[in-house]
Structure 1
Amino acid sequence: MTYLRPLFRHPRLPRNTIGYTKKEYEGALSTLCAGCGHDSISAAIVQACFELSIEPHKVAKLSGIGCSSKTPTYFLGNSHGFNSVHGRMPSVATGASLANRDLVYFGVSGDGDTASIGMGQFVHVIRRNLNMVYIVMNNGCYGLTKGQDSATADAGSVGKAGTPNPFEAIDLASLAIELGASFVAQSFSGDKQQLIPLIKAAIRHPGMAFINVVSPCVTFNNNKGSTKSYDYVREHLEATGTVDFVPEKGEIRVAYEKGTDALISMHDGSSLLLHKLAQEWDPNNRISAAGALQQARVRGEILTGLLYLNPLSQDLHATLHTSATPLNRLSEKELCPGSAVLEEVNAGFR
Structure 2
Amino acid sequence: MTKGQDSATADLGSFGKSGIKNQFEGIDLASLAVLQGASFVARSFSGDKEQLEPMIRAAMAHKGFAFIDVVSPCVTFANNAGSTKSYAATRDNLDAMPIDFVPMREEIRTQYKEGSSQTVTLHDGSIIHLHKASKDYNAESREGALMALQAANQDGKVLTGLLFIDPNTQDLNQTLELATKPLNTLSTEELCPGSRVLNSINEGLR
What range is the shorter-chain TM-score in? 0.7 to 0.9
Deviations 1:64-108 (A, max 9, x none): xxxxxxxxxxxxxxxxxxxxxxxxxxxxxxxxxxxxxxxxxxxxx
User: 3-state SS of the aligned residue for 2:31?
Assistant: helix
Structure 1 position 222, deviation (Å): 6.2
Match of 1:239 among 132, 136, 145: 132
- Alignment-derived partner of residue 312 in structure 1: 168
Distance 1:289 1:224, change over 3 A: farther
Structure 1 position 338, deviation (Å): 0.9
Give me the whole-angstrom Cα distance separating, in 1, the residues matched to 2:54 and 2:205: 48
- Alignment-derived partner of residue 173 in structure 1: 30
Structure 1 position 147, deviation (Å): 5.6
Give me the whole-angstrom Cα distance separating, in 2, the residues matched to 1:311 and 1:164: 42
Deviations 1:270-298 (A, max 9, x none): xxxxxxxxxxx421111111111111112
Structure 1 position 177, deviation (Å): 0.7
Instruction: Verify: 1:207 aligned to 2:64, yes or no.
Output: yes
Distance 1:185 1:287, change over 3 A: same
User: 3-state SS of the aligned residue for 1:162?
Assistant: coil
Match of 1:195 among 30, 52, 56: 52
Distance 1:235 1:215, change over 3 A: closer
Give me the whole-angstrom Cα distance separating, in 1, the residues matched to 2:15 and 2:157: 17
Give me the whole-angstrom Cα distance separating, in 2, the residues matched to 1:236 and 1:223: 22
Distance 1:220 1:321, change over 3 A: closer
Question: Any unmatched runs of 5+ in structure 2?
Answer: 87-121
Q: Quick check: which one's helix share is greater?
A: 1
Instruction: Verify: 1:332 aligned to 2:188, yes or no.
Output: yes
User: 3-state SS of the aligned residue for 2:51?
Assistant: helix
Larger Rg: 2
* TM-score where L is the length of structure 1: 0.44
Deviations 1:225-256 (A, max 9, x none): 54556244x53222214xxxxxxxxxxxxxxx
**Residue identity opposite 2:35 in structure 1:** E
- Give matches, 1:172-321, under 5 Å: 172-221=29-78, 225-228=82-85, 230=122, 231-232=125-126, 234-241=127-134, 261-262=135-136, 281-321=137-177
Structure 1 position 300, deviation (Å): 2.1
Give me the whole-angstrom Cα distance separating, in 1, the residues matched to 2:70 and 2:184: 35
User: 3-state SS of the aligned residue for 2:159?
Assistant: strand
Give me the whole-angstrom Cα distance separating, in 2, the residues matched to 1:346 and 1:302: 54
Give me the whole-angstrom Cα distance separating, in 1, the residues matched to 2:129 and 2:152: 10
Where relative contact order (Cα < 8 A, 6+ residues apart) is larger, the structure is 2
Give me the whole-angstrom Cα distance separating, in 2, the residues matched to 1:342 and 1:174: 45
Give me the whole-angstrom Cα distance separating, in 1, the residues matched to 2:23 and 2:50: 35
**Residue identity opposite 2:26 in structure 1:** A
Give me the whole-angstrom Cα distance separating, in 2, the residues matched to 1:156 and 1:189: 24
- Alignment-derived partner of residue 155 in structure 1: 12
Question: Any unmatched runs of 5+ in structure 1?
Answer: 1-141, 242-260, 263-280
Give me the whole-angstrom Cα distance separating, in 2, the residues matched to 1:158 and 1:149: 8
* TM-score where L is the length of structure 2: 0.72
Distance 1:160 1:194, change over 3 A: farther
Q: Quick check: which one's strand share is greater?
A: 1
Aligned-residue sequence identity (percent) comes to 59
